[in-house]
Amino acid sequence: MEDIYSAYILSTEHRPDFSTFVEVDEIPVIDLSETSQENLILKIGKACEKWGFFQIINHGISSDLILKVEKEAKKFFELSMEEKNTLKRDVFNAIGYYDAEHTKKAKDWKEVYDFLAKDGVQIPCSDDPHDLELCTQKNHWPQSLPHFREIMEEYGGKLEKLAYKLLELISLSLGLSGDKFLDCFENQLSLTRLNYYPPCPFPELALGVGPHRDPCVLSIVVQDDTGGLQVKKNIIGGWVPIKPIPDAFVVNLGDIFQVWSNDKYESAEHRVVLNSQKERFSYPFFLFPSHHTILKPAEELVSEEVSAKYKAYNFGKYYANRTHADFTIQEVEGIEIHDFKILD
């Protein structure tokens, strides 16, 4: 890994631009135990419209469980590379372990382990609309960590339930019914991720994760106290740090909610900067629909006055296209929501 990271630092295309770093009001912190649901929905709606990001407290997930996850995650990333590579993802099963060597163009300064909320789900094998073949996605668990699977499945299950609660609240904030999108998740592709960012000797020359938007419905991120997560705020003109708060989770909207909201809410660009002294861990959950879901703006948000901003597209084919793009150095079209934007 050291050779990989050394080569990475020599590259200039993935270096952070700190000239646009700004200090502003902090990302909203929302208390989910708010007694007035009307006030809670209002606060969430404002946070989604202004930032696309917010932090939540009193979310119902115990700190004891988070500590268990942290302990097991550290054990996992301390395993030998030989053992971790037995769990390595590939183009046919994009679930499991990967590091900087196995990401597109080796850009990200991190190691990753993914596992599905629903094991054995299927996605299209190809982005070809005429190819109906499906590939099964399966979890791979480390055999040398006896408590790892049990703890991770408990954690992923609780974050999934929390994601559905947030889905309901965000839907209500758009003036939609709380269960508007629930039918999209019968065979969901949602997953939990463990991120490990090693200390970087030259953090000014690299990024843990480069600027990106999440392609999911929403993300819930548990981060440690190292910090490094930043969100791009275009009207301010720079990057805003999301400061770690004890027992708080970070929530951000993904591309799918931007499409569903017909651009009322934005999937905000974000990145992770590195630390020269401390390693960083984070444990996000990504809420994805099932592969057969057709994504388009909610019909309630489209009218004669407000036209649809996106044409309908199949999520499974889109997901397959993005997955294949991770394993090629060539630029691939159709992997960003702007590819489905209806131009004026």
Mean pLDDT of 295-300: 98
> Is the pLDDT assigned to residue 6 strictly greater than 80?
no
Q: With cut-offs at 50, 70 and 90, classify the pLDDT of residue 315.
A: very high
Tokens of 309: 């901003």
Beta carbons of 190 and 286 less than 8 angstroms apart: yes
Whole-number Å distance between alpha carbons of 256 and 296: 9
Task: Give the pLDDT score at 12.
Answer: 47
pLDDT digits (tens, 9 = 90+) for 98-134: 986 555 545 789 999 999 999 999 988 877 777 888 9
Distance of CA 228 to the CA centre of its chain: 15
Cα dihedral 156→157→159→161 (10° resolution) = 160
Find the DSSP H helices in the chain: 2-10, 37-50, 63-77, 81-85, 148-173, 255-260, 315-325
- If phi > 0 it is left, if psi is from -120 to 50 it is alpha, else beta; for residue 289 that is beta
Task: Give the pLDDT score at 221.
Answer: 98
269 CB burial (10 A radius; 0-12, 13-18, 19+):
middle
Task: Give the pLDDT score at 324.
Answer: 75
Q: Which of the 8 DSSP states describes residue 299? A: G
Task: Give the pLDDT score at 108.
Answer: 84
Beta carbons of 274 and 109 less than 8 angstroms apart: yes
> Is the pLDDT assigned to residue 332 strictly greater than 70?
no
For 2-340, CATH gives: 2.60.120.330
Beta carbons of 298 and 183 less than 8 angstroms apart: no
Instruction: List the one residue out of 56, 40, 47, 44 whose CA is nearest residue 233.
Output: 47
Domain ranges for the chain, please list them. Answer: 2-340
pLDDT digits (tens, 9 = 90+) for 273-293: 999 999 999 999 999 999 999
